[in-house]
């Protein structure tokens, strides 16, 4: 079996973000890379650049009309893509396409056996719907990755695990009726935080009824709350036996984030990463791709995500 950890990084994905005091600023990539270097981990991972996702790849998840709308609004500048969270700017279409292509590069490298784990810091844009931008997310790289894992790589059962403070509504509702997309999401209770969804009773619909795991937490939940819920995620994954694990490890669930009040320590993120690797190895394939997601306190995102990369390296 292959070894090594692939890191998708570089100017192409660093550009994704919003200026003018927006929490998702374009400085987040650098904050992570500096910490990776300070810990001497940059020399231990293989680095790869992102590529722009093709129109066909974007259309595996998004509608053609929505993709056109993003292109038009980015070219025109100024307008928001949603109700005020996701401003359009010249170049946004391209930057958002690179994020998707970066996650696809990560997934492809794992599927081709070049590495068992890969991480992309600017990725995990889990709020974008098939036909709509939302909450800082233009194109849903996780959603495109799930679709391409099936169409291009022929996988059937794929797990999506999300510990960002916000509910991953863009993924949840896109695959709500699909029993082959395992979904486990720890997040702050929607009564207290955007986007307001992800109640425990939301377990899927139609053929997927009863198959999804939404685990809302009290708005000030700490590591002990995290660990109690995390046990359920592990049991869920072991029973579901996915062929691939996508991990959205948003650092906005760490104490001190300006947008949320969850109080995990960065150890939660490292623990989750280590356990997911162990589960994937136990299933015989070892396939795990981590995506940074949210995280607006730069110190926190740097520590949480380097902890995830360290856990990936330690699992080798």
List residues binding ligand TV7 (CB under 6 A): 21-23, 83-85, 125-127, 135-137, 164, 166, 194, 250, 252, 259, 293-294
Interaction of residue 252 with Zn ion, rule CB under 5 A: yes
Nearer to ligand TV7, 126 or 271 (CB): 126
Contact, 269 vs 305, CB < 8 A? yes
Going by DSSP bridges, is the β-strand pair 117-120/46-48 parallel, antiparallel, or unpaired? unpaired
Beta-bridge partners for 254 = 264
Is 190 a binding residue for Zn ion by CB under 5 A? The answer is no
Q: How far is the CB of 193 from ligand TV7 (least distance, A)?
A: 8
- Say if strands 5-8 and 213-217 run parallel, antiparallel, or are unpaired: unpaired
Residue 47 bridge partners (DSSP)? 7
Residue 252 C-beta: closest distance to Zn ion, Å? 4
- Among 123, 250, 286, 307, which residue sits at the site for Zn ion (rule: CB under 5 A)? 250
Neighbouring C-beta atoms of residue 57, cutoff 10 Å: 21
39 binds, among ligand TV7, Zn ion, none (CB under 5 to 8 A by kind): none
Would you say 169 and 248 are in contact if contact means Cβ atoms under 8 Å apart?
Answer: no
Nearer to ligand TV7, 116 or 166 (CB): 166
How many angstroms separate the CA atoms of 246 and 157, rounded? 11
Q: Closest approach of Cβ 296 to Zn ion, in Å?
A: 8
Part of the chain binding Zn ion (CB under 5 A), chosen from 7-15, 105-113, 155-163, 289-297: 289-297
Q: Which is nearer to Zn ion, 43 or 258 (CB)?
A: 258
Name the binder of 136 from ligand TV7, Zn ion, none, CB < 5-8 A by kind: ligand TV7
Q: Output 85 or 252, the one with its CB closest to Zn ion.
A: 252
Q: Which does 21 bind (CB under 5 to 8 A by kind): Zn ion, ligand TV7, none?
A: ligand TV7
Measured from the CB of residue 250, what is the shortest distance to Zn ion in angstroms?
4
Check if the beta carbon of residue 131 is closer than 8 Å to that of residue 66. yes
**Interface residue list for Zn ion (CB under 5 A):** 164-166, 250, 252, 294
């Amino acid at each position: 079996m292959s070894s090594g950890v692939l890191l998708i990084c570089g100017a192409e994905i660093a550009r994704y973000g919003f200026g003018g005091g927006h929490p998702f600023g374009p400085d987040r990539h650098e904050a992570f890379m500096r910490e990776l270097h300070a810990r001497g981990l940059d020399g231990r991972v293989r680095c790869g650049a992102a590529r722009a996702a093709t129109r066909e790849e974007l259309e595996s998840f998004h509608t053609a009309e929505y993709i056109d709308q993003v292109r038009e609004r980015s070219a025109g500048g100024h307008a928001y893509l949603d109700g005020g969270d996701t401003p359009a700017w010249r170049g946004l279409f391209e930057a958002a396409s690179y994020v998707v292509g970066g996650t696809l590069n990560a997934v492809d490298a794992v599927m081709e056996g070049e590495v068992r784990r890969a991480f992309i810091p600017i990725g995990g844009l889990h709020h974008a719907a098939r036909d709509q931008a939302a909450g800082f997310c233009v194109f849903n790289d996780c959603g495109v990755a799930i679709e391409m894992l099936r169409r291009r790589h022929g996988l059937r059962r794929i797990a999506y695990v999300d510990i960002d403070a916000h509910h991953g509504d863009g993924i949840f509702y896109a695959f709500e009726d699909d029993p082959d997309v395992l979904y486990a999401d720890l997040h702050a209770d929607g009564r207290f935080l955007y986007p307001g969804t992800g109640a425990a009773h939301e377990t899927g619909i139609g053929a997927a009824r009863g198959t999804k795991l939404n685990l809302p937490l009290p708005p000030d939940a700490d590591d002990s709350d995290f660990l109690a819920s995390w046990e359920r995620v592990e049991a869920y994954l072991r029973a579901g036996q996915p062929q691939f694990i996508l991990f959205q490890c948003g650092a906005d669930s760490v104490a001190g984030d300006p947008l949320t009040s969850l109080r995990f320590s960065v150890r939660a993120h490292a623990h989750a990463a280590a356990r997911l690797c162990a589960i994937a190895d136990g299933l015989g394939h070892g396939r795990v791709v981590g995506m940074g997601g949210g995280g607006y306190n730069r110190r926190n995102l740097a520590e949480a995500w380097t902890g995830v990369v360290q856990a990936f390296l330690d699992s080798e």
